[in-house]
Structure 1
Amino acid sequence: MNNNLLEVFEVKVAIAGAGAMGSRFGMMLAQGGNDVTLIDGWLAHIKAIQENGLQANYNGKNVSVHLPVKLQSEVDSTEKFDLVIIFTKSMQLAQMLSDIQGVLGQKTKVLCLLNGLGHVETLEKYVPRENIFLGNTMWTAGLEGPGKVKLFGFGSVELQNVGERKEEDAKQIADFLSQSGLNASYSDNILYSIYRKACVNGTMNCLTTLLDCNMGQFGATSTAHQIVVKIVNEFAAVAKVEKINLDVSELVKHVESCYDPSVADHYPSMYQDLIQNKRKTEIDYINGAISRKGQKYGVPTPYCDLLTAMIHAKEELLEAK
């Protein structure tokens, strides 16, 4: 195992959760010359990658990359990784960490890039605090079927150490990701950034899913602005109790940048999961998390309460698994 990621020519990386975003990071890191293994729980996806490679529409160009891919319940515990990047769905995090315990060495760094809130508590049950790094990404990706993804646009990554005095390790990881074009940077306030992204997920994800539309179509409706303002205000009110100050006006503009023509045609991950693939969503870790925190802090969150309940109702109607 390597203490300093940048001291080695090739870093041994595992992507735990090889859906759309995990596949994007795996492909870009592999193209950067790194040893990358995909780990996932979707058997059809794994078989498709094993047989045909990871197929991607990469900014309009068809690309195929052959990567090692393993079922999470069958990972080889004798294999250890320098860096594990977590891209499961939030509700799958604990099971993934339990399944891959054998590949986590004493020095393995674990970078969690999940959507939503409240993941550190789960991570600490399986990973030493000094090895945990938390971040978020603004890259986009779509899952078009087993072994097939659509990758487009440009993005970035922000990350920060959870353990004390691990800032240099966090900066090393950011530099390493940037070497493969992932545009990563160190943040000294990652919780602000995570809340900021959660505002996007807490609007675009659930609203496009419930209204069966893409982001641009939602933005073109007469009520879009009013709805976004209400939801962002609820996120900001909860964050304020946790001493995280969100600028509501700036965040509303940030959310509404999703209507830009360059990304307006995108269907967010929750839409992909529920509408396209009949899979359960992460709503309990986005709007649902705000609802729970609101109840705890005595902060009213009627929009998040309703959106959470409606997404669960939609899951039942579509018999999501």
Structure 2
Amino acid sequence: MKIAIAGAGALGSRFGYMLHQAGNEVILIDNWVDHIQAIREHGLKMTIDAETFTAEIPIITPQEITSDQTVDLVIVFTKAMQLDQMIQDIKPIMNDDTDILCLLNGIGHEDIIAKYIDAKNIFIGNTMWTASLVGPGHSKSFGSGSINLQNLGEGQEIEAKKIAACLSEAGLNARFTDNVHATIYLKACVNGTMNGLCTILDVDMATFGETNQAHEIVTTIVKEFAAVAAHENIELNVDDAVAFIEKCYDRQTIGDHYPSMHQDLIRNHRMTEIDYINGAISRKGQKYGVATPYCDFLTQLIHVKENIVLK
């Protein structure tokens, strides 16, 4: 399959590498000049569980796309605030048969994609794979993960299962679900706790989880997510979600990982996606008349941190 990775950062690089190794024709699309130059000169370096590999995978900027580079599938891994522009920029690589799979953190991204792409070609999901950038051209990851995905357009279940099969053949453990919004909300709970809290406290997930206050804070935030989800006819079991989040504390799996928001703001001095995670719950809470004080405050704290770090 011809596959484009739109947003070849830490996780995009991991997906691109694994799909390439499985025999797919992969092209990476990104805007980071140093990253692009490093991959072009030295190949994509991928460290998986302490072992480093190198793969020669083509990488271009969105501006370098030409109409003869059309692909079968685009997997989007941009930051949420970059999604709209990326979809506009990559239109030349897509035709009427090109599918697009969005695996971004946060909620509601399909509404942006649907402005430019027919619903029959849009597939949405979430992933529990993790990764971080060591530096330009070098992604690092450990542990395993999974993907849940679903078609947005009616009658596209067979195509969704075909995409899931392609990803699974690359070792990415993908599965089709007919209730992807529930899994998206579950992943959003992970991001809505681990991302903001670890960024504010400047710790990895295990260190946060070892504190006496972790369980109560996480439970309170998840309750806010669940209350909002209920207004969208999505059932989110609070106890199950909290237990799922607390698995992240295990140092034998991903406990030593610093979430992507920490990588963005603390390590790389870039804006965060807080407005598309906790901020999205705050906005939906206002819409539905649901109080979300923890999400409101955490969103404000991250913006304060952005002002301090990025001034």
Letter of the 1:319 counterpart: L
Which residue pairs with 2:263 in the alignment? 272
Letter of the 1:297 counterpart: Y
Please identify runs of 4+ aligned residues in structure 1 that moved more than 3 A.
none
Alignment equivalent of 2:287, drawn from 296, 307, 316: 296
Which secondary structure does the structure 1 equivalent of 2:132 belong to?
strand
Report how far residue 212 of structure 1 moved: 0.3
Report how far residue 222 of structure 1 moved: 1.2
Greater Cα shift, 140-149 or 24-33: 140-149
- Listed one character per residue, the Cα deviations across residues 187-220 of structure 1 (whole Å, up to 9, x for unaligned) are 1100000000000000000000000000000011
Q: What is the identity percentage for the equivalent residue pairs of Structure 1 and Structure 2?
A: 57
Determine the C-alpha separation between the residues in 2 that align with 1:57 and 1:170: 29
Determine the C-alpha separation between the residues in 1 that align with 2:298 and 2:204: 17
Which residue pairs with 1:84 in the alignment? 74
Report how far residue 78 of structure 1 moved: 2.4
Which secondary structure does the structure 2 equivalent of 1:149 belong to?
strand
Q: Is the 8 Å Cα contact of residues 17 and 46 (structure 2) preserved in structure 1?
A: no
Letter of the 2:226 counterpart: A
Q: Please state if 1:28 is matched with 2:18.
A: yes
* 1:158-307 matched pairs, under 5 angstroms: 158-261=148-251, 262-307=253-298
- Listed one character per residue, the Cα deviations across residues 231-290 of structure 1 (whole Å, up to 9, x for unaligned) are 000000000011101110111111111111221100010011110000111101100000
Report how far residue 73 of structure 1 moved: 2.3
Determine the C-alpha separation between the residues in 2 that align with 1:203 and 1:58: 25
Letter of the 1:160 counterpart: Q
Alignment equivalent of 1:73, drawn from 55, 58, 63: 63
Q: Please state if 1:319 is matched with 2:305.
A: no
Report how far residue 59 of structure 1 moved: 1.2
Which secondary structure does the structure 2 equivalent of 1:318 belong to?
helix
Aligned-pair Cα RMSD in Å: 0.8
Which residue pairs with 1:4 in the alignment? none
Letter of the 1:298 counterpart: G
Which secondary structure does the structure 1 equivalent of 2:68 belong to?
coil
Which residue pairs with 2:106 in the alignment? 116
- Listed one character per residue, the Cα deviations across residues 47-88 of structure 1 (whole Å, up to 9, x for unaligned) are 111111111211111111110000122212321000000010
Determine the C-alpha separation between the residues in 1 that align with 2:274 and 2:135: 22
Determine the C-alpha separation between the residues in 2 that align with 1:248 and 1:183: 25
Determine the C-alpha separation between the residues in 2 that align with 1:21 and 1:200: 16
Letter of the 2:91 counterpart: Q
Which residue pairs with 1:5 in the alignment? none
Q: Please state if 1:101 is matched with 2:91.
A: yes
Report how far residue 298 of structure 1 moved: 0.4
Determine the C-alpha separation between the residues in 1 that align with 2:48 and 2:201: 28
Determine the C-alpha separation between the residues in 1 that align with 2:265 and 2:77: 17
Task: Return 5+ residue gaps in structure 2 as ranges.
Answer: none
Determine the C-alpha separation between the residues in 2 that align with 1:24 and 1:83: 16
Q: TM-score, normalised by structure 1?
A: 0.95
Which secondary structure does the structure 1 equivalent of 2:270 belong to?
coil
Report the number of matched residues: 310
